């Protein structure tokens, strides 16, 4: 066996280079989000581990195995166990949820009942490869960090990579680029700071760690290097603030504060140098916060205003935690499969969410859901190992900074999932390896500190090669993703492929991703589009999709159509109702109401949630035909929701429909009921005024409205209603007084346009056409619309300005939809004919008396000259 050597082997330096490449690759490769990143991750990690083992063997050393290496190995072993196919009986004992899924969704399709615990095996294969890569990288980093120079070089790589990412974002901001390098635009997000990280929270987590590491390096150096690391810490800290990540900013401040506080607590025994280190940490923190706050103060204020109350926070990520905890409780033994959360969670999602939830954004819930109880045991092991590091002897400033940054990043991952991606995970492992290095001040070179396991270098080399090969092998079945499968099947539907081909390919993809509800839904959609003869097959596949995601609005809608084809109308309208409750905002007005024939079907369609029931009322009021059915529904709804608060508009809608039908007595009765139910509500009094006006009691209606104005002085709609009725009664001066009192409360352009329209109507009734025209023209600038242009044209025609009127008509026609444009040419032709006739009359007048015309031109003011 070679004798121990203090000289660093070139193989160890090669391992250091591989690790540095990993630290840089993750952030630049879109934060490690693309699936292809796993191939270089496994490759570089395996090469780094092999080189580190060779270097250790050349130097006569044994490999040290800290607790964290074993925890990573246990995680990989759990992934492997989750991928073992189990017979139905054993699968039901280990994972009842996985067994019930296969029994309900797969077995009736002719697919096997036996299968692995993981509900998305390709994702678990990828996680297996990732765990092996992390273990190999950490093993190599621990060996490399035995050298103080290598350790500091690796941490410097991390620090300057973070600063480089932050500078890249600042450069994009200065150049005004919304796309990465001006080329790649993010599809679903617009990050506040454009960097390779598409997720601002991940960016903040990475930059927070790199800033804290840079601060620790600055405290260990002097001169130019010290200034360079301080600058890197400041730039990265400014990038954290510009990311606008609330949790990221908070935990960055926590990490920096821990560094400053830890150094300050050590001041008594370390005297001046430690005190100056704490002061320097505070200065860097203040500089980062000051620079970032100066650049993005307004955006930070807006972002902070969204999290001022616990209610606001509860409605965000915290609101989802109970559902995620329920999903975790369903898989206590071995979890749903590492990486399978995106596919498996929709079954336990009880409230609709427009976003696809790929992670719980909570590290504890992530491990509990995907690994079950063993995942929580792993988490406890990580926490225990970290606490042991903190309880070690006196920490150097660099070690204190790294541990503070890791603590902040770990706490941040209680509200994020940045450690699930390679960029932050590799950075964290490199930092952790720098702290758990086997060399201690009390240990001689090449000896093993107590409390750590050792492995011969030759054995470690064999293990590294084997694990590298296993990692690459795992990436072969792991190359398949949910997005690719869904995209492939959607492409078949878009190309109008035969339904048999869609089914055959879909079943193949379902075998690979058994818990993906969208695959079943797409096959059901293909059967639904194939015609009424396939309604039964469509319903069968959609039922499977709804088993896997009960709040999938699209599947409920397809199920409703299939049930209508099968003649099961009552159940169909229940599915329409569930589609609306699942978030389909258009299903009522665009489809369900058009299919309803009877009031009983409308009753089934009506949700017990008041807000959704009011949507049915509003949609029926907008599309009342057949009127008898609609009025019958309103009568039922008034009785059904009689005790529900804010149900008054049911009476309002029905009364207005009665007014349209001329049923004044019934409308008056409804108005009286509404006044008794809500005597102080504005809607009740407005309805009373409408009924009085319909009964020919215009003055009494005006008096009712005038009594309301002092009670609701800031209600602009009330003022407009009163002014309109005053204009109709010829009381234009009083109408303008009402509008004048309402003017200070107008804040929107549309409200200003309506006020000017009413003022124009007042002036027009008074014969002041020029002032009316001025108001109407202003409306065309504030709120361009065909009606506003036609009003201007009508008034200009009355004033004899036929050419201007024709231009206004043409502009109004241009604003109309294409199908509504025919029929307006006659008005334009008439106006142009009148303009030609007027010009001809003027010409004849000039020819008959040219001197009078010339005198008129000479006396005309300059601004009126032609």
pLDDT digits (tens, 9 = 90+) for 345-368: 999 998 888 777 889 999 999 999
Quick one: pLDDT at residue 342?
Answer: 94
- Residue pair 108/360 in contact (Cβ under 8 Å)? The answer is no
Query: Across the strands, what pairs with 270?
Result: none
Q: Which of 528, 530, 551 is nearest to 540 (CA)?
A: 528
> Distance between CA 673 and CA 691 in Å, rounded?
13
Q: Which of 99, 104, 101 is nearest to 87 (CA)?
A: 99
The tokens describing 117, both together, are 């615990």
Query: Across the strands, what pairs with 63?
Result: 455
The tokens describing 448, both together, are 């093993």
> Distance between CA 415 and CA 363 in Å, rounded?
8
pTM of the entire structure? 0.82
Contacts of 50 (CB under 8 A, 6+ apart): 461, 464, 465, 468
- 646 Ramachandran zone, left/alpha/beta (phi>0; psi -120 to 50): left
Q: What is the largest CA-CA distance in the chain?
A: 127
Q: Which of 590, 215, 647, 659 is nearest to 399 (CA)?
A: 215
Q: Which of 40, 37, 30 is nearest to 181 (CA)?
A: 30
Query: Across the strands, what pairs with 180?
Result: 184
> Distance between CA 114 and CA 95 in Å, rounded?
12
Q: Of residues 340 and 60, which shows the higher confidence score? A: 340
Proportion of the chain above pLDDT 90, given as a percent: 53
Helix (H) or strand (E) holding 455: strand 453-455
Contacts of 394 (CB under 8 A, 6+ apart): 266, 269
Q: Which of 41, 47, 21, 18 is nearest to 465 (CA)?
A: 47
Query: Across the strands, what pairs with 65?
Result: 453
- Residue pair 334/92 in contact (Cβ under 8 Å)? The answer is no
DSSP state string for 619-663: HHHHS--SHHHHHHHHHHHHHHTTTSTT-HHHHHHHHHHHHHTT-
Query: Across the strands, what pairs with 86?
Result: 115
Rg over alpha carbons for the chain, rounded to the nearest Å, is: 37
For residue 86, give the 3-state DSSP assignment.
Answer: strand
Query: Across the strands, what pairs with 64?
Result: 454
Contacts of 8 (CB under 8 A, 6+ apart): 55, 147, 149, 150
Flag whether pLDDT at 2 surpasses 70.
no
Flag whether pLDDT at 513 surpasses 90.
yes
Q: Which of 815, 820, 723, 736 is nearest to 772 (CA)?
A: 736
Flag whether pLDDT at 303 surpasses 60.
no
- Residue pair 154/502 in contact (Cβ under 8 Å)? The answer is no
> Distance between CA 385 and CA 433 in Å, rounded?
12
Flag whether pLDDT at 311 surpasses 50.
no
Flag whether pLDDT at 788 surpasses 80.
yes
For residue 862, give the 3-state DSSP assignment.
Answer: helix
User: What is the rounded average pLDDT for all residues in the chain?
Assistant: 87
Contacts of 131 (CB under 8 A, 6+ apart): 72, 75, 76, 79, 338
Task: Give the C-alpha distances (Å, rounded to integers) separating 693 from 56, 663, 676, 684, 726.
Answer: 96, 13, 20, 14, 12
For residue 65, give the 3-state DSSP assignment.
Answer: strand
The tokens describing 513, both together, are 């991703």
The tokens describing 555, both together, are 């599947």
Task: Give the C-alpha distances (Å, rounded to integers) separating 782 from 140, 200, 457, 810.
Answer: 67, 38, 79, 18
> Distance between CA 258 and CA 282 in Å, rounded?
10
In this structure, the number of other CB atoms found within 10 A of the CB of residue 748 comes to: 11
pLDDT tens sequence across 385-409? 999 998 876 788 899 999 999 999 9
| Mean pLDDT of the 190-214 span | 93
Name the one residue in this structure whose structure tokens are 């504005």.
682
Quick one: pLDDT at residue 842?
Answer: 76
Exposure of 806 in the CB half-sphere (CA atoms within 13 A): 14
> Distance between CA 435 and CA 733 in Å, rounded?
83
Flag whether pLDDT at 294 surpasses 70.
no
The tokens describing 819, both together, are 């199908």
- Residue pair 587/576 in contact (Cβ under 8 Å)? The answer is yes
pLDDT tens sequence across 64-107? 889 999 999 999 999 999 999 999 999 999 999 999 999 999 99
> Distance between CA 702 and CA 725 in Å, rounded?
7
For the chain, helix (H) and strand (E) counts, in that order, are 43, 2
Helix (H) or strand (E) holding 63: strand 63-65
Quick one: pLDDT at residue 9?
Answer: 85
- Residue pair 207/243 in contact (Cβ under 8 Å)? The answer is yes
Quick one: pLDDT at residue 299?
Answer: 56
Report helix, strand and coil shares of the chain as percent, to nearest 5: 75, 0, 25
Flag whether pLDDT at 484 surpasses 50.
yes
Quick one: pLDDT at residue 830?
Answer: 86
Query: Across the strands, what pairs with 454?
Result: 64
Quick one: pLDDT at residue 309?
Answer: 46
> Distance between CA 207 and CA 237 in Å, rounded?
7
Quick one: pLDDT at residue 318?
Answer: 79
Query: Across the strands, what pairs with 184?
Result: 180
| Mean pLDDT of the 794-804 span | 88
Q: Which of 396, 398, 20, 395 is nearest to 218 (CA)?
A: 398
Flag whether pLDDT at 276 surpasses 70.
no
Name the one residue in this structure whose structure tokens are 């203090």.
6
Query: Across the strands, what pairs with 622?
Result: none
Flag whether pLDDT at 425 surpasses 60.
yes
Q: Which of 726, 24, 82 is nearest to 369 (CA)?
A: 82
Quick one: pLDDT at residue 49?
Answer: 96
Torsion of CA 683, 686, 688, 694, to 10 degrees: -130
Q: Of residues 694 and 132, which shows the higher confidence score? A: 132
pLDDT tens sequence across 576-595? 999 999 989 888 888 999 99
Flag whether pLDDT at 500 surpasses 90.
yes
Contacts of 528 (CB under 8 A, 6+ apart): 534, 535, 538, 542, 558, 561, 562
Quick one: pLDDT at residue 451?
Answer: 43
pLDDT tens sequence across 765-782? 998 989 999 999 999 998
Contacts of 603 (CB under 8 A, 6+ apart): 633, 636
pLDDT class of 853 with cuts at 50, 70, 90: low
């Amino acid at each position: 066996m070679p004798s121990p050597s203090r000289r660093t082997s070139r193989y160890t330096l090669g391992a250091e280079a591989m690790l540095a490449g990993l630290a840089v690759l993750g952030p630049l490769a879109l934060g490690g989000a693309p699936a292809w990143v796993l191939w270089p991750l496994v490759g570089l990690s395996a090469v780094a581990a092999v080189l580190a083992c060779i270097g250790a063997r050349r130097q006569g050393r044994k490999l040290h195995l800290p607790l964290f290496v074993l925890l990573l190995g246990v995680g990989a072993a759990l992934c492997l166990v989750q991928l073992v196919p189990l017979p139905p009986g054993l699968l039901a004992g280990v994972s009842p949820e996985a067994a019930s899924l296969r029994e309900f969704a797969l077995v009736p399709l002719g697919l096997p009942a036996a299968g692995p615990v993981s509900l998305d095996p390709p994702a678990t294969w990828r996680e297996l490869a990732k765990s092996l890569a992390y273990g190999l990288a950490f093993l190599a980093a621990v060996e490399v960090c035995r050298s103080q120079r290598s350790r500091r070089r690796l941490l410097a790589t991390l620090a300057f990579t973070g600063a480089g990412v932050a500078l890249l974002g600042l450069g994009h901001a200065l150049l005004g680029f919304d796309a990465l390098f001006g080329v790649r635009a993010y599809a679903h997000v617009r990050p506040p700071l454009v960097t390779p990280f598409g997720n601002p929270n991940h960016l903040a987590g990475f930059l927070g760690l790199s800033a804290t590491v840079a601060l620790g390096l600055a405290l260990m150096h002097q001169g130019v290097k010290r200034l360079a690391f301080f600058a890197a810490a400041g730039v990265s800290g400014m990038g954290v603030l510009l990311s606008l990540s609330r949790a990221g900013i908070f935990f960055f401040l926590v990490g920096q504060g821990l560094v400053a506080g830890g150094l300050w607590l050590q001041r008594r025994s370390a005297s001046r140098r430690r005190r100056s280190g704490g002061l320097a940490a505070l200065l860097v923190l203040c500089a980062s916060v000051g620079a970032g706050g100066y650049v993005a103060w307004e955006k930070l204020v807006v972002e902070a205003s969204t999290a001022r109350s616990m209610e606001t926070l509860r409605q965000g990520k915290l609101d989802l935690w109970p559902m995620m905890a329920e999903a975790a409780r369903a898989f206590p033994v071995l979890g749903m499969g590492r990486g399978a959360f995106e596919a498996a969670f929709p079954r336990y999602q009880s409230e609709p969410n427009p976003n696809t939830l790929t992670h719980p954004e909570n590290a504890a819930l992530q491990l509990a859901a995907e690994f079950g109880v063993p995942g929580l045991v792993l988490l406890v092991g990580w926490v225990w190992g970290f606490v042991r590091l903190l309880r070690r002897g006196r920490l150097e400033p660099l070690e204190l900074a790294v541990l503070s940054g890791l603590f902040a990043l770990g706490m941040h991952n209680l509200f994020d999932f940045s450690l699930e991606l390679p960029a932050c995970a590799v950075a964290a492992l490199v930092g952790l390896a720098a702290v758990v290095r086997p060399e201690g001040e009390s240990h001689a070179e090449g000896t093993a500190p107590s409390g750590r396991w050792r492995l011969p270098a030759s054995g470690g080399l064999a293990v590294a090669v084997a694990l590298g090969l296993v990692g690459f092998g795992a990436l072969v079945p792991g190359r398949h993703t949910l997005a690719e499968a869904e995209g492939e099947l959607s492409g078949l539907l878009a190309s109008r492929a035969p339904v048999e081909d869609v089914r055959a390919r879909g079943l193949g993809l379902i075998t690979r991703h058994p818990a993906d509800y969208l695959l079943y839904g797409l096959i059901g959609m293909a059967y639904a589009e194939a015609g009424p003869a396939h309604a039964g097959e469509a319903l069968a596949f959609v039922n499977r999709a709804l088993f896997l995601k009960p709040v999938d609005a699209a599947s409920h809608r397809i199920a409703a159509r299939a049930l209508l084809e099968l003649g099961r109308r009552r159940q169909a309208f229940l599915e329409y109702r569930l589609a609306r409750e699942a978030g389909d905002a258009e299903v009522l007005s665009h489809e369900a109401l058009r299919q309803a024939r009877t009031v009983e079907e409308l009753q089934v369609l009506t949700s017990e949630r008041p807000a959704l029931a009011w949507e049915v009322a509003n949609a029926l009021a907008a599309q009342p035909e057949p009127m008898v059915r609609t009025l019958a529904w309103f009568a039922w709804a008034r009785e059904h929701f009689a005790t529900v608060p804010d149900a008054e508009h049911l009476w309002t809608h029905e009364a207005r429909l009665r007014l349209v039908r001329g049923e004044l007595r019934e409308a008056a009765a409804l108005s009286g009921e509404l006044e008794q139910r809500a005597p102080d509500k504005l809607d009740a009094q407005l309805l009373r005024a409408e009924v009085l006006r319909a009964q020919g009691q215009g003055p009494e209606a005006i008096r009712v409205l005038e009594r309301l104005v002092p009670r609701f002085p800031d209600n602009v709609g009330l003022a407009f209603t009163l002014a309109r009725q005053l204009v109709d009664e010829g009381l234009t001066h009083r109408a303008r007084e009402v509008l004048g009192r309402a003017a200070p409360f107008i804040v929107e352009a549309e409200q200003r346009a309506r006020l000017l329209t009413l003022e124009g109507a007042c002036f027009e009734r008074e014969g002041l056409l020029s002032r009316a025209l001025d108001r109407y023209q202003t409306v065309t600038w504030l709120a361009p619309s065909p009606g506003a242009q036609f009003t201007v044209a009508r008034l200009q025609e009355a004033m004899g300005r036929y050419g201007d009127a024709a231009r206004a008509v043409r502009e109004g026609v241009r604003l109309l939809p294409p199908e509504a444009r025919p029929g307006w040419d006659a008005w334009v032709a008439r106006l142009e004919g009148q303009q030609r006739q007027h010009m001809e009359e003027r010409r004849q007048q000039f020819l008959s008396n040219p001197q009078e015309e010339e005198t008129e031109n000479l006396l005309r003011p300059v601004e009126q000259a032609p």
